[in-house]
Amino acid sequence: MELEVMALQEKNKVMQSYNNDKEFLHTFFDYENEESSYPERLRELADRPFERRRLAEIIRSFMEPFGISTIADKHIVELSENAVVSIGGQQAGILTGPLYSVHKAITVILLAKKQREALGVPVVPVFWVAGEDHDLNEINHVYTEMEGRAVKHQYREKFVLKLMASDAEYDKKMMTSFVKDIFGKFGETAYTKNLKDDVLKAVELEDTFTHFFVRLMNGLFKEEGLLFIDSAFKPLRELESSYFVRLIEESEQIAEMISNKEELFEQKGYGSPLGTEIEAANLFYVHDTGRILLSRKDGYFVNDSSGIRFSKADLLRIATEKPWLLSNNVATRPLMQDMVFPVLAFVGGPGEIAYWSILKEAFHHLHMKMPIIVPRMSMTLVTPQVKHLLDENSFTVEDVMSGGVITAREQFISGLNDERFDSVLHETEELLGKQYEKIAEFADRQGPTMQELLQKNLRFHTKQLDFLKGKAEEAVLLKHATALRAFGILEGELFPDDVLQERLYPPYTYLNKYGPTLIQDLLRLPFEMDGTHKIIYL
């Protein structure tokens, strides 16, 4: 396994500014992503109260069914005492979802190790699973590479209600069949059977999308002591009761602050990542029909489409007595996370960093500073087959991502054309046209019916020449199919659908090719969190 780095051209304006613009940082964040920020953040956390022991026990009870390694147990104990955390989160995708979930976990782990050593205090890695999310269409599919194309395979079970991922139970027979089909697309290797058996065992042991995800992720990272917690876990909701009370009490001010900040964000040309509204409650209520978003209206918390209407006193009573019926939205989840955990640093992707950008005043209103925000590492995995094709064609990974392979393929195809054959066809077409012009002189005397027949006959012969030309091109392409397939594989593997590999393919694509030690071997590489894109040759 070898590591290279490359500076990707950053197309995301928010990330460009986050990495390079000090004014942007100071306007929208509390800390710069610099080593000097960590001691300051540590001092701030020392002055804030956390329910450490209760939180640690909640994490232990959540993780016990999935297995707690020795080092994870140590991290739980440390969290109950004086540890701070590096934390990141993701939705619960099938087969862990796209690779960036794994890349985020790797970043969280390496950051915790680095700051544990630098600060001389326990820093524990935590993965916050967004089990409260109800958009199952975002997580119910897997992509595989086939014939140089990224192909989407969707788990077809229908869920009528807006169920949270942690409540949505899959059909075990359907999921088993789906997983077997996906592994069939990966192709058979020496590792396929054991990997597939492990995943199918997880399918059988679990019932929900969230638990299926956590069992697989815990298996991949158990030796690193990565802690997991589901945002929809009922005991966690009970711990959050007093924090929900605060969010309800301050709902109007928080919504106004977020809305004003997003307006400034948009004025500066960064768009509206949340599309927030001044009347937003920024909380969901878990109803019999699913998870529904609340708004503020005439002094009440409402969802008009469901006929839900709570007074402030009603909602505060729910927060106190049944907090598991409440759920955060994208704006309040970061606030809740920081009230629950002693967050040294949050690891996020570009989309997350965009919406965190408008939360600074909301954090301050709750007497907190934002944590240090660390962009997750971005990686591309290069298999030996792909490396061979790159070398054979004198391409680099950067060539593929910049569109160089598309240009090269077009030039290659252009060079295959038989100019002599094309010339003869063109000459024949011209000659045919001239001959029909002569025939037309006689057809004029025969009336319009003969003219129509003549034109129809000409179109037939022209179509036959086009058919012949197309078949000749097919024959040339077929003759050079191996070379052309190489172009497709490079694009399909490294930059599918013009996006980074990590945004589509699951890690099992590469575990199947490399073997079960992939994650551990990645964690041993000398990564620097310097904003560069990592190229890993397997």
> Which is nearest to 411 in space by CA: 332, 483, 508, 496?
483
d(CA 99, CA 534): 13
| Type of residue found at 140 | N
Is 297 strand, coil or helix?
strand
pLDDT at 446: 63
Q: What is the pLDDT of residue 104?
A: 97
Measured between alpha carbons, how far is 112 from 124 in angstroms, rounded to an integer? 6
Helix (H) or strand (E) holding 523: helix 518-523
Burial of 423 (0-12, 13-18, 19+ CB in 10 A): exposed
Beta-bridge partner residues of 4: 535
Domain 1-276+325-380+507-531 has CATH 3.40.50.620: yes
Q: Cβ distance 258 to 331 under 8 Å? A: yes
User: In whole angstroms, what is the distance from residue 234 CA to residue 62 CA?
Assistant: 10
Q: Are 168 and 159 in contact (CB under 8 A)?
A: yes
Find out whether 528 and 517 touch, Cβ atoms under 8 Å. Answer: no
Whole-number Cα distances in Å, 415 to 277, 303, 412, 480: 57, 63, 5, 11
162: tokens are 């807006």
Burial 365-403 (b: 16+ CB within 10 A, else e): bbebbbbbbbbbbbbbbbbeebeebbeebebebbbbbee
Core vs surface per residue 157-170: b (16+ CB within 10 A) or e? eebeebbbbbbbeb
DSSP class of residue 208 equals: B
pLDDT per position as a tens digit, 474-525: 555 554 455 667 778 888 999 999 899 999 999 999 999 999 999 999 999 9
In angstroms, the CA 91 to CA 129 distance is 6
DSSP-assigned beta bridge partners for residue 124: 85
In angstroms, rounded to a whole number, what is the distance separating the alpha carbons of residues 339 and 278? 23
User: Which parts of the chain register pLDDT below 70?
Assistant: 160-161, 409-429, 433-434, 436-447, 449-451, 454, 458, 461, 464-484
Residue 379 Ramachandran class (φ > 0 left, ψ -120 to 50 alpha, else beta): beta
What is the rounded CA–CA span in Å between residue 333 and residue 331?
A: 6
**pLDDT value of residue 479:** 47
Hey, what's the torsion of the CAs at 162, 167, 173, 177, to 10 degrees?
Answer: 70
Cα angle 501-135-505, degrees, rounded to a multiple of 5: 15
Q: Is 209 helix (H, G, I), strand (E, B) or coil?
A: helix
Grouping H, G, I as helix, E, B as strand and the rest as coil, residue 164 is coil
Three-state DSSP state, 381: strand
Please state the domain extents for the chain: 1-276+325-380+507-531, 385-498
Give the per-residue pLDDT at 465: 59
SS3 78: helix
- What pLDDT, on a 0 to 100 scale, did the predictor assign at position 7? 86
